[in-house]
Structure 1
Amino acid sequence: MAAERADAARNRLAILRATEELLVQRGLEHVSLDAVAARAGVGKGTVFRRFGNRTGLFRELLAERAARIRDAIDNGPPPLGPGAPAGDRLIGFLDELATLAAKNITLIAAHEQACAADKHQDPTYQRWHAHLVGLVHEIRPDADAEFLAHTLLGSFDGELVRRITDRGGVERLRTAVRDLARTIAPAMSAHATDPPAGSHAHTPGR
């Protein structure tokens, strides 16, 4: 059984890498279960059983990219992790998402297109939204935290990220999203300041 689990893990990694390579090199229209299976060196049935369809491939690839952010939120040091004021945590989380989005624009855009019909049901989106709802509610208990959390996540639309970073890089995106957060949640902690330049080297994503 251990050997089977190791094989399954290797196949999963090969399938995700093949999906990403096809997406970056040839575009969304060339990502199919057949093409992914051929590039990964596995049967189409293996891809289908593990991921179901192309949407499943993109969801899993995004979840992999977001895994370290998820772990840092739960167990990492502040301000991203527990222990910091909600305003600090909000800014820290949005900074991490900005870096992730800027480094994975093609994946983010493809994920949005493939999951357009049920974007808000995506597990990664739901985790991010729930985290933001908790932070916004703590900062502004009088506000509609659910709506404001959706509004903040809308800042990371793939094509919007591409347009903004093309004309100012990830720092422009981070600054703009921080400004939006402070506009909709002005009661953030007075200690919620912009992290110093170069403080994002640990951020996951490629």
Structure 2
Amino acid sequence: MEPVGISLGKPRDERADAARNRAHLIEVAKAMVAELGADKVTMDGLAERAGLGKGTVFRRFRTRAGIFLALLDEEESEFQKRVLFGPPPLGPGAPAVRRLVAFGHERIAFLMAHRVLAQAALDPGRPISIARNPSLFHVQMLLREACPDVSAHGALALQLTAALEGPILLYFLASKEAEPGPMPEQLAASWQTLVERLCH
């Protein structure tokens, strides 16, 4: 007898009270980072400032790094809008190679501009994952257009994304310096060289 599939319907949306709590926690966390600095923001402190139970904060963010990851995600959404809908060469309308170069330059600038959040979002107990990075799909899409004769676009995009973001994230993990010196310009120039040589 064939098994009968039972439709459970669409997954339930986030409860209204949970959505309100999340938005409230994000706003309070932003204010605390601006006022105190990321290193002074704790799970207990956030719960107290937000007027919510510690359990609510832990369920929402799981770890202290999760607070900053959520804040970084808010900024990430805005960056992705620029990539998808903004003016060229970052947005649509420019040749794929130019878009790849522009993406690397803008991505490095984005991470540097949000380095406090990016550094605080790194959890030393968990490895850096490039495979779930939202940049990966975009780099792969542009590679297919810019280098149609190159095989294994997925693996190559993974390596390029790691080359683009890995050094910056590792720097954040290892260093507490506020200013990374000439590294952004060097990485941007190296990214452009890498893309242009690969696609020509």
TM (norm. structure 1) is 0.68
> What is the deviation of 1:10?
4.4
Q: Secondary structure at the match of 2:29?
A: helix
Between Structure 1 and Structure 2, the one with more helix by share is 1
Whose RCO is larger (CA < 8 A, sep 6+)? 1
Alignment of 1:139-158 (within 5 A): 139-140=146-147, 141-142=150-151, 144-157=156-169, 158=171
Matched residue count? 180
Q: Quick one: percent identity of the two aligned structures? A: 28
User: What's the Cα RMSD here?
Assistant: 3.5
Post-superposition CA distance 1:126-185 (Å, at most 9, x none): 1012222333444342573321221111242243897695434xxx61x32332123322
Equivalent runs, 1:1-206 vs 2, <5 Å: 4=17, 7-8=20-21, 10-17=23-30, 20-21=33-34, 24=37, 27=39, 30-112=40-122, 114=123, 117-120=126-129, 123=132, 126-140=133-147, 141-142=150-151, 144-157=156-169, 158-159=171-172, 165-168=179-182, 173=184, 175-187=185-197
Unmatched 5+ stretches in structure 1: 191-206
- Structure 1 distance, partners of 2:36, 2:107, is 21
Aligned CA distance change for structure 1 residues 6 and 142 (closer, same or farther; 3 Å): closer
| Structure number, greater radius of gyration | 2
Residue segments in structure 2 that go unaligned for 5+ positions in a row: 1-14
Kept in 2, the 8 Å contact 1:137–1:145? The answer is: no
Moved more, 57-66 or 143-152: 143-152
- TM (normalized to structure 2)? 0.70
